[in-house]
Amino acid sequence: MFGEVSDHFWRIEYQARGAPHVHLALWVKDAPVIGQNTPAEVRSYIDKIITCSVPNADQSPTLNALVMKFQSHKCNRYCRKIFKHKDKFFQKCRFGFPRPAEMETKINNVVDCLAVNRATQPRKRLYHLKRTDSETRINDYNGALLLANQANVDVQYIGHTGSRLPYYITDYMTKQERCEQDNLWSDIFSSTKSLGTNAMSFLLKTVKSRQVGSNEAADRLLGHKLYSKSRQTRFADLEHPDMVKRMLKPCKDIEELLKNDTESTDIFHQHWVLDIYPNRPDQMENTCLHDMLAWYEKEHVGNEEMRLRTGRVYL
């Protein structure tokens, strides 16, 4: 519905009351970019995938009911924020509701949007959808996605390729879950133990006392995926051999090894940088470490032999 997706990242987050919701970022192939494509192309793409209109109740009764139930914003203490401008205080919705009525979709200046000081004024949206006076409190959505989800959706176009906006999005999507830390301070302050002991106690209690609702507990116990990404990462430890962190083999394997050779030092799993790459096959002589880590996996055959695998090619 958005176009051909070339990359994705999603994560399930649980609100304080335990309700799960999904943060999802999609990289759409050939999607228009502000500054590279014309404003008309950007507006056409936005209008094709996002809307804020209220469907006709007679023609689309199901979609109309979903929009009125899940997409209609009502301001409360959560979204109202106090701002200060020129020594005057004013209160405004931090999500920008009610949003301005526009005859057609309007693209705002990217620099002006990024330059907003959020301590003194609400954030400025990159664009404003075409909407009537009766739709100023309807949150942006995609009709097909709303029908499939049967719950609130918030669809936003990100047409800026700089670093600041992606950083904000990923920082928000990967924020840590709330912990029950407030109740732990009283235990520490009333303790007669040393500062170091209290700090360690606080750390251990914090790790073990994060809020977990019934929905999250069920998802974790059932092994449901809580996040997914289209690109994987692999860490290459390039420290000096004396400083490299290595993984020990299982105790059973080490004991068996020392029975046969009491002076053996082969107690670690094979390391990509120290063991595998220097001993790569002759046909991979011109393959750099980066390409080997990106395209090859190691596969064990029997007890001793190890081979590299990429697709159906074994080396």
Mean pLDDT highest for which of 107-111, 150-154, 173-177, 202-206? 150-154
Dig out the tokens for 48 from the structure. Answer: 């094709």
The C-alpha atoms of residue 12 and residue 15 are separated, in whole angstroms, by 10
Q: What is the pLDDT of residue 312?
A: 36
pLDDT digits (tens, 9 = 90+) for 88-131: 888 888 888 999 999 999 998 888 877 766 666 667 888 999 99
Q: What are the pLDDT digits (tens) for 242-271?
A: 899 888 999 888 888 888 888 888 889 889
Which tens digits make up the pLDDT trace of 193-226? 777 777 777 777 766 666 678 888 899 888 899 9
Residue type, 244: V
Residues 231, 170: Cα–Cα separation, whole Å: 15
- The position carrying tokens 């600041």 is 164
Percent of the chain with pLDDT over 70: 85
pLDDT per residue as tens digits for the range 56-68: 999 999 999 999 9
Tokens of 89: 């205080």
Alpha-carbon distance 72 to 52, whole Å?
10
Any idea how long the chain is? 315
Distance CA 311, CA 257 (A): 33
Buried b (16+ CB within 10 A) or exposed e, 285-310: eebeeeebbeebeeeeeeeeeeebee
Residue ranges per structural domain of the chain: 251-314
CB neighbour class for 235 (10 Å; exposed up to 12, middle 13-18, buried from 19) = exposed
Are 298 and 270 spatial neighbours (Cβ–Cβ below 8 Å)?
Answer: yes
The percent of residues in the chain predicted with pLDDT above 90, rounded, is: 37
DSSP string, 106-175: EEPPHHHHHT--TTTSPPPPSEE--B-GGGTTBPPB-HHHHHHH-S----------SSHHHHHHHHHHTP
